[in-house]
A and B are shown apart, each in its own frame.
Chain A
Amino acid sequence: MIPGPPEPPPIASFEHAAKWYGHVIGLVDATVSIGGGITGLLGPNGAGKSTFLKLLTGQLQPSQGEVRLLGADPFADPSVHARVGFLPEQDSFYEEMTGRAFVRFLAGLHGCPRARADEALERVGLAAAGGRKIRTYSKGMRQRVKLAQAIAHDPKVLVLDEPMTGMDPVARRQVIDLMRDFERRGATVIVSSHILHEVEAMTDRVILLYQGRVRAVGTREEIRGLLDRHPHQIRVRSPRARDLARLLLDLPGVVGVRLDDGSVHVDTTDPEAVYDRLPRCVLEEGLPVDGLEAEDMGLDAIFGYLVAR
């Protein structure tokens, strides 16, 4: 057998990494690898997201374990930052500077010419306001400046800590489009948020953090699959919901059905059996099905299960 090509090394990895601040735990025994594409870092406030990202960007040194970014120790080897762009969570600036001067200064530290900084401001939609002092900016504009300084040097890895805070829906859309653009160009984007639907809109690959621990890693489906203690919920809409419910109840793995306004809500530990059976219900039993949706594939449902575990 001819061996396949070797797996590419991860862009970032945590090996039993832990961080504590005196008696306060920031992150506990995190082991996780992050590959290309967009990865969402999800957790409530205080879950350890910022600690995770500060370790990843070399601002903090792990108390235990190892963190690698692009094959290097980001705390000890500053050269790795040449390929990394970071948007911090905190609302901190040189307030007396103009947005343009701020981005030019920070891009200059990467060796970028001023034109690159100006391009970055253009990309985030802040070219026109670039000449104003940062202290006069709205919250959304301040987020855009932070984003511009993170992307000006065209990084291979973009690390964004709560980038959507304070942004209006249009700006949020633009940020997501920008992240997707980076992904298309082969970059890795790691983005944190405590808002579930925000992460869902960006990516389906997530790292779930809670109380300083990595609770789950993978796609939403993979994570949901890990939670086999909890039955999957599927909603099937049909004008003959009662007849459909009777049939579905006989399927293996179905632990309960509930009727509700022309819909059957099915609780099952074997969702594939339900999905297999439904076409036959339509074809063989003549039962019409108007719609089908997995009710608890949202990150909020998954997160609720994980926290309860």
Chain B
Amino acid sequence: MTARSFLLLWGNATSRALLGRRGLLLILLAALPVVLAWIQVEHDTRLSPTKFVAVTLMFVFQFVVPLAGLFLGVAVLGDEIEGRTLTYLFTRPHGRSYVFLARYLGAVTAFAPLLAATVTVMAYLFGSHVNVTARDAVATAGIAVAGFLVYAAFFATMRLFLPRALFAGFILGFILEGGISKLPESGISRWSVWHHLALLETRLFEGRLASTHLRKLLQGIAPDETVGGSLAVLAAVLVVSLATGLWRVRAQETRLANAST
């Protein structure tokens, strides 16, 4: 596998990630928090500015990030499998695992800057009303991108095991994760990615304006939970997901081919 081949695969994945209806949906999804922030800033709403910041951030972390991760994650090899174009990529002189890795990196490269830009613009719009600094904006963008990388890796690997990963992902990413995060007392909420993203964000605003509202929304974050612990969990999910995907694609036949014999 040469660097040139890797770059070609990566470039192909990047350009294809935001094409078509899915691309349009993702761009709209990324733009939505900015639009909401703009509405709040330009027009009075019933919510206080600080609460609105909290609500908008939760919308980003609990909806935009997992949904983008799901859509782009399942498409990493899913598009190729369904379009039956994986045959072309798997009959070239590079390992199958490189195809998976290059396409994953291509997909996340396409959307991560968009997500980071969304969060930054959102923070800029809020900046004049609430105490959001440039550092807060960068850190929040970083947390959103980290969450997106984790979700995308998880769902990309899930697609290698499940043909209907999009459907299963909706259930897992929204119904199960949402349900788990509503069970703070049991500690089970710690099993959700969302919980750790929320913890990072809460810790970022600790003792400041938005924190009170964030805390209300983020029930279940225990005092003993640390930023380092959550970063470690997110990193572990990312690494294990990618490693499982690489193993799967290298050692197992993906149902890349049509059923005809």
Contact = CB atoms under 8 A, between A and B. Distances in A.
A111 B257 contact: no
B261 interface: yes
Which of B12, B96, B258, B261 neighbours the largest number of chain A CB atoms within 10 Å of its CB?
B261
A115 B91 CA distance: 21
A26 interface: yes
Q: How big is the B interface, by class?
A: 20 to 34
Interface string A233-249: 00000000000000000
B94 interface: yes
A109 B85 contact: no
B93 A94 contact: no
Contacts of A21: 259, 261
A88 B87 CA distance: 7
Interface string B76-91: 0000000111011111
A149 B94 CA distance: 16
A51 B257 CA distance: 9
B93 A46 contact: no
Contacts of B158: none
A19 to B, nearest CB: 8
Contacts of B260: 45-46, 50, 89
B8 interface: yes
A106 B261 contact: no
B93 A110 contact: yes
A48 interface: yes
A109 B96 contact: no
Interface in A37-95: 45-51, 54, 57-61, 78-82, 84, 86, 88-90, 92-94
A79 B201 CA distance: 46
B261 A90 contact: no
A122 interface: no
A80 to B, nearest CB: 8
Nearest to B254: A59
Given A21-B259, A109-B92, A109-B94, A59 B87 contact: yes
A212 B261 CA distance: 8
B4 interface: yes
Q: How big is the A interface, by class?
A: 35 or more
A105 interface: yes
A93 B86 CA distance: 10
Contacts of A181: none
A108 interface: yes
Contacts of B261: 21, 24, 26-27, 46-51, 212
Nearest to B19: A96
Contacts of A86: 87, 91
Contacts of B90: 58-59
B87 A108 contact: no
A138 B257 CA distance: 23
A109 B8 contact: yes
A59 B88 contact: no
A78 B93 contact: yes
A155 to B, nearest CB: 10
Given A50-B257, A81-B92, A109-B93, 4 more contacts: A45-B260, A78-B93, A109-B9, A109-B94
Interface of A: 21, 24, 26-27, 45-51, 54, 57-61, 78-82, 84, 86, 88-90, 92-94, 96, 105-106, 108-111, 149, 212
17 contacts: A21-B259, A24-B261, A47-B261, A50-B260, A59-B257, A60-B257, A78-B96, A79-B93, A81-B91, A86-B87, A88-B87, A90-B84, A92-B83, A93-B85, A108-B4, A108-B8, A109-B92
Interface of B: 2, 4-5, 8-9, 12, 16, 19-20, 83-85, 87-96, 253, 256-261
For the complex of A and B, list the 8 residue pairs with the smallest distance between their C-beta atoms, beginning with the closest: A92-B84, A82-B93, A109-B92, A81-B93, A51-B261, A86-B91, A26-B261, A88-B87
